[in-house]
Structures are given as structure tokens and as C-alpha cells.
Amino acid sequence: MVWLCPSHLPTRPVLAKDRSQRDDYTGPLRRMLLAVLCLCLVGIFLVWRIDSPRVERFRAQVVDKVVPNMEWALAPVTGAINLIRDFQSYRRLSEQNQELRSELRRMQAWKEAALQLEQENARLLDLNNVRLDPRLTYITGVVMADSGSPFRQSVLLNVGARDGIMDGWAAMDGIGLVGRISGTGETTARVILLTDAASSIPATTPAEQERVKRLQSMSADKIAPLVAYLASDLSKDVTNQIFSVRKNEILLFSKPRPVRSMAKLEGWTAEAIADELIPAFRPAFARADEVSAHVFPYDPI
């Protein structure tokens, strides 16, 4: 066993603290500045709490001297506030603009309604001057169905022979004439509208009425095959031609060609056309009363 004496243990050197002159004065100086700052704050607090006219004037002078110098610091805040106000004003203007547009649309709708009412009022005023024959009468009916075709324009009414409806009667609505009665049943009647292609064909005799009914059998489904063919690649070599469909018959029409010609070197006037041109062309004129029966002497196949 070995005993060690403390004198034989390694020792660590201890350095003395180096306190400079600056460290000796920094602490007291800080404490003195802190005390002065506290006294100043206490003084400002007391000055601002003293209720005296002289102190009040002093406070006003201090505010007048200090506050204007802070305008540079308030400029960004003032600019931001003005920007926010401008944005709010723009939003209000946008909302007012939308409201004005909506109001304008409503006013336009009211204007159209007012024009319609004015026209209806004018028609009603005109009707006040009409003298009706006491023997004339009218029957009111409701449209039950329509043809549903762009080529055959007719409607079916819920009144018929038992109500006194007769073929050939005029059909009217609130605006005016819309068509005529073409076929009556016991409780129903069919009206051919003025927009129907067969509406202009005269049908005063039973034979003519029967012929008109046969013409009305030329429905749109008879045209569909020709339209499908012309729209397909099968008709790529067919162009510049005029086709027509007459029920189950497909026709090829010739193009219009000149039949007569007449020239005048000094030019034409309305009087010269009436005196010279028309008498020369009249023999070649097409018939003014020509109808489909003159071109097709047979009914649709």
C-alpha cells in the first residue's frame, strides 16, 4: 500500500481576476442612468397628472412640438388607411353598378311589356269600331295537340260538329287570324295554320279538300332518306344538282335558264320597259295561276 501526501498531488494554477478600470465604472454608471431614467418617467407621469392651467399649457406646447415631427412616421399608416378607404369605395361603386344594371334590365322588360300592352290596347280600340253581323257567332276551344312537324302545321281543338263547327271556318286567337278549319269530328276539329304549306291551296269543293288531305300525307320522313344520302360519302360525286321529294317520288329539277332576251343600246327606262319589253316577253311568261296540279297532273305516289 502506498500513501500519498497532499504535497505530492498535482496542483492547478489559479489565475487572479483581471479587473480593468472600465469594469470598475460600468456598473455604477448603468445604475445611475437607470435611476435618472426612472426619475424622468416619474416626472413625466407627474406632469401629465397634475391638473393645473400652467401645466396644461406646458403639455399643449410639448404636444405641438413633438406631434408634427411624427408626421413622417404616420405617413405609411395614413396611406394604408386611404388605400383601404379607396378599395371600400370601389367596392361600393361596383355594387351600385350591378344594381343599376339589374334595374336597367328590369326597366327594359317593363318597357317591352308596356309596348305589348299599348299594341293590345290599340287592337282593342280598333275592335270597338267594328260592327258585327248579328248572325255571326263564335265558338271558343282549346288546343289539345299539334302536328309536331315543321312541314305540316296544324292543331287539334276540343270542339267539333256537336258544337256547331263547320269546315272552312276561320280560326283566330287573341292576336288575329291563325288558320282555318279543315276537318271536323263529333268532338274535335283540326285547324290548318297559315304557316302550313297547304294552307294557301284552295279547297272549296269536296274533291279539292280530298286532294289537300292527300298532299298533307307528304310528311318529313319521306325526305329523310334523300337527306341521309346527300349527307353521306355515297354522294361525293353528286353536286350542283336540285332534288325534290314528293312523297315516295324523288325529282331532279333543271336549273333556271334564260328564255328571252332583249337589248336597248340607249338604255332602258320604266316607260320603255312597259311599252316594249313586257309585250315582247309576255308570250314567254309563266302562268300567274300555276299550281302544282299544272306541273304534276297526278297525286303524290
- Identify the domain containing residue 81 by its residue range: 37-123
Task: Compute the average pLDDT of residues 233-261.
Answer: 90
**CA pair distance 108, 101, nearest whole angstrom:** 10
What's the CA angle centered on 117, arms 112 and 119, to 5 degrees?
A: 95
pLDDT in the model for residue 231: 92
Residue 133 within any structural domain of the chain: no
What's the CA angle centered on 282, arms 279 and 288, to 5 degrees?
A: 140
Cell of 86: 379607396
pLDDT in the model for residue 252: 93
Mean pLDDT of the chain: 79
Written as one letter, the residue type at 285 is F
Q: With contact defined as beta carbons under 8 Å apart, do 180 and 199 qualify?
A: yes
Task: Compute the average pLDDT of residues 170-189.
Answer: 83
Residue 30 within any structural domain of the chain: no
**CA pair distance 144, 156, nearest whole angstrom:** 6
Q: With contact defined as beta carbons under 8 Å apart, do 158 and 141 qualify?
A: yes
Residue 235 pLDDT greater than 80, yes or no: yes
Written as one letter, the residue type at 43 is G
**CA pair distance 156, 147, nearest whole angstrom:** 8
pLDDT in the model for residue 165: 87
Name the domain count of the chain.
Answer: 3
Q: What is the pLDDT of residues 122-151, one digit of tens each?
A: 877 776 776 666 666 778 888 887 766 655
Which stretch of 19-23, 29-33, 41-45 has the lowest confidence by average pLDDT? 19-23
Residue 196 within any structural domain of the chain: yes
Do 245 and 212 share a domain, yes or no? no
Cell of 195: 304557316
| 203 compared with 30, residue with greater pLDDT | 30
Residue 210 within any structural domain of the chain: yes
Answer whether 0.75 is exceeded by the pTM.
no
Task: Name residues whose C-beta falls within 8 Å of residue 184's C-beta, 6 or more positions apart in sequence.
Answer: 160, 161, 165, 166, 167, 190
Residue 2 within any structural domain of the chain: no
What's the CATH code of the domain at 158?
Answer: 2.40.10.340
Task: Compute the average pLDDT of residues 30-59.
Answer: 81
Residue 230 within any structural domain of the chain: yes
| 71 compared with 253, residue with greater pLDDT | 253
| 197 compared with 206, residue with greater pLDDT | 206
Sign of CA dihedral 258, 262, 264, 268: negative
Q: What whole-number percentage of the chain has pLDDT above 70?
A: 79
pLDDT tier, 14 (very low <50, low <70, confident <90, very high otherwise): very low
Residue 58 within any structural domain of the chain: yes
**CA pair distance 69, 67, nearest whole angstrom:** 5
Residue 98 within any structural domain of the chain: yes
pLDDT tier, 54 (very low <50, low <70, confident <90, very high otherwise): confident
Q: Which of 193, 216, 239 is the last residue of a domain?
A: 216
Q: What is the pLDDT of residues 78-125, one digit of tens each?
A: 888 888 988 888 889 989 999 999 999 999 889 988 988 888 888 777
